Amino acid sequence: MNNYELYTGLILLLPLAGFITLSLTGKRFTPRGAGILATLLLVLTALLSWVVAYGYFFEFGKQAGIYQPCRLIDFEWLPFTDTLSINMGITLTPIIAMMLIVISTVSLLVHLYSTGYMKGEERLGSYFAYLQLFTFSMLGLVMAFNIFQIYFFWELVGVSSFLLIGFYFKLPAAIAAAKKAFIVTRFADLGFLIGILMLGTGAGSFDIEQIISRLTDPGSSYLAAFTDSSFLGFSTLTWALLLVFAGGAGKSAIFPLHVWLPDAMEGPTPVSALIHAATMVVAGVFLVARLFPVYAISAPAALEVIAILSAFTALFAAIIACTQTELKKVLAYSTISQIAYMLLALGVAGWSKEAAEGYTASMFHLFTHAFFKAALFLCAGVIIHIVHSGKLEDMGGLRRSLPITHIAFLLAALSISGCPFLSGFFSKEAILAATWTSHPVLYVVALLTSGLTAFYMFRIYFLVFFNKKATDEKAHEPWQMALPLIVLTIGTVFAGYIPFGELVSADGMPYKLHVSVLSSLLPVSAALIGILTAASFYAVRNDRPTMFAKSLGGFYQWAYHKFYIDTVYLFFAKQVMDKGFGGLFSFIDTHIIQGTLNGLAEGSYSFSVLIKRMQSGRIQTYAFFFLGGVLLMAILLIIQYI
Amino acid sequence: MEQIPLSHILILSSALFFLGAYGFFARRNLITVLMSTELILNSVNINFVAFNKYLYPEQLEGVFFTLFIIIVAAAEVSLSIAIIINLYRKFKTIDIDDTTTMKY
In contact, A406 and A465? CB cutoff 8 Å:
yes
Q: What is the per-residue pLDDT for B23?
A: 92
Relative orientation angle of helices A517-538 and A423-438, to the nearest 10 degrees: 120
Beta bridge partners of A62: A67
* CB atoms near residue A43 (< 10 Å): 15
Q: Do A617 and B101 touch (CB under 8 A)?
A: yes
Q: What is the mean pLDDT of residues A168-197?
A: 88
In contact, B36 and B23? CB cutoff 8 Å:
yes
Q: Are strands A70-79 and A85-92 parallel, antiparallel or unpaired?
A: antiparallel
Q: What is the mean pLDDT of residues A492-521?
A: 75
Q: What is the per-residue pLDDT for A18?
A: 87
pLDDT band at A2 (very low <50, low <70, confident <90, very high): low
Q: What is the per-residue pLDDT for B86?
A: 92
Closest CA relative to residue A363, chosen from A304, A290, A314: A290
CA A483 to CA A437: how far, in whole Å? Answer: 41
* Position B73 pLDDT exceeds 70: yes
Q: Do B103 and A623 touch (CB under 8 A)?
A: no
Q: What is the per-residue pLDDT for A296?
A: 83
Q: Do B25 and A624 touch (CB under 8 A)?
A: yes
B87: closest CA of chain A, how far (Å)? 14
A605 vs A435 pLDDT, higher one: A605
- The residue of chain A nearest to residue B26, with distances taken between CA atoms, is A620
Domain ranges of chain A: 2-560, 566-641
How much of chain A, in percent, has pLDDT values that exceed 90? 6
Residues of A in contact with B96 (CB under 8 A): 618-620
In contact, B35 and B47? CB cutoff 8 Å:
no
pTM for the full predicted model: 0.77
DSSP A507: T
pLDDT band at A277 (very low <50, low <70, confident <90, very high): confident
* CB atoms near residue A110 (< 10 Å): 32
Residues of A in contact with B100 (CB under 8 A): 616-618
Query: Does residue B26 sit in helix, strand or coil?
Result: helix
Q: What is the mean pLDDT of residues A48-74?
A: 81
Helices (H), A26-123: 31-55, 94-117
The yes/no answer to whether this complex scores an ipTM above 0.90 is no
* CB atoms near residue A628 (< 10 Å): 10
Instruction: Report chain A's mean pLDDT, rounded to a whole number.
Output: 84
Q: What is the per-residue pLDDT for A535?
A: 80
B interface with A, Cβ–Cβ below 8 Å: 21, 24-25, 96-97, 100-104
Q: What is the per-residue pLDDT for A26?
A: 65
Q: What is the mean pLDDT of residues A42-49?
A: 89
Q: What is the mean pLDDT of residues A182-197?
A: 89
**From A54-63, A295-304, A465-474, the region with the lowest mean pLDDT:** A465-474
In contact, A195 and A246? CB cutoff 8 Å:
yes
* Position B94 pLDDT exceeds 70: yes
* Position A156 pLDDT exceeds 80: yes
How much of chain A, in percent, has pLDDT values that exceed 70? 97
User: What does the DSSP assignment read for A9-29?
Assistant: HHHHHHHHHHHHHHHHHGGGS
Instruction: Report chain B's mean pLDDT, rounded to a whole number.
Output: 90
Does the N-terminal peptide bond of residue A218 adopt cis geometry, omega within 30 degrees of 0?
no
Q: Could you read off the pLDDT of B18-60 as tens digits, one per residue?
A: 999 999 988 889 999 999 999 999 999 999 999 999 988 898 9
Q: What is the per-residue pLDDT for B41?
A: 94
Question: Is the C-alpha dihedral spanning B23, B26, B31, B33 positive or negative?
Answer: positive
Question: Is the C-alpha dihedral spanning A376, A378, A381, A385 positive or negative?
Answer: negative
* A residues 564-623 closer than 8 Å to B (CB): 612-613, 615-620, 623
Q: Could you read off the pLDDT of A101-141 as tens digits, one per residue?
A: 889 999 999 988 888 888 877 788 888 888 889 999 999 89
In contact, A420 and A493? CB cutoff 8 Å:
no
Contacts of B104 by beta carbon, 8 Å cutoff, 6+ apart: A612, A613, A615
Q: Do B96 and A616 touch (CB under 8 A)?
A: no
Question: Is the C-alpha dihedral spanning A289, A294, A298, A302 positive or negative?
Answer: negative
Contacts of A361 by beta carbon, 8 Å cutoff, 6+ apart: A345, A349, A427, A430, A431, A433, A434, A513
* Position A551 pLDDT exceeds 60: yes
pLDDT band at A22 (very low <50, low <70, confident <90, very high): confident
Q: Which residues of A560-572 are buried (b: 16+ CB within 10 A; e: fewer)?
A: eebeeeeeeeeee
Q: What is the mean pLDDT of residues A59-69?
A: 77
Question: Is the C-alpha dihedral spanning A397, A402, A406, A407 positive or negative?
Answer: positive
Helices (H), A477-541: 479-494, 500-503, 517-538
* Position A233 pLDDT exceeds 60: yes
- The residue of chain B nearest to residue A612, with distances taken between CA atoms, is B104
Helices (H), A349-473: 357-387, 403-417, 423-438, 440-465
* Position A608 pLDDT exceeds 80: yes
Q: What is the mean pLDDT of residues A43-57?
A: 88
DSSP B35: H
In contact, A144 and A72? CB cutoff 8 Å:
no
Q: What is the per-residue pLDDT for B84?
A: 92
Closest CA relative to residue A116, chosen from A364, A528, A484: A484
Q: Could you read off the pLDDT of A556-600 as tens digits, one per residue?
A: 777 777 777 778 888 887 787 878 888 899 999 988 999 999 999
A554 contacts chain B (CB < 8 A): no
Helices (H), A166-299: 172-203, 208-216, 221-228, 236-251, 260-263, 269-273, 283-290, 292-293
Q: What is the per-residue pLDDT for A37?
A: 85
* Position A555 pLDDT exceeds 80: no
* Position A1 pLDDT exceeds 60: no
Most confident of A156-160, A295-299, A425-429, B43-47: B43-47
DSSP B56: -
Q: Could you read off the pLDDT of A283-315 as tens digits, one per residue?
A: 888 998 888 888 888 888 888 888 888 888 988
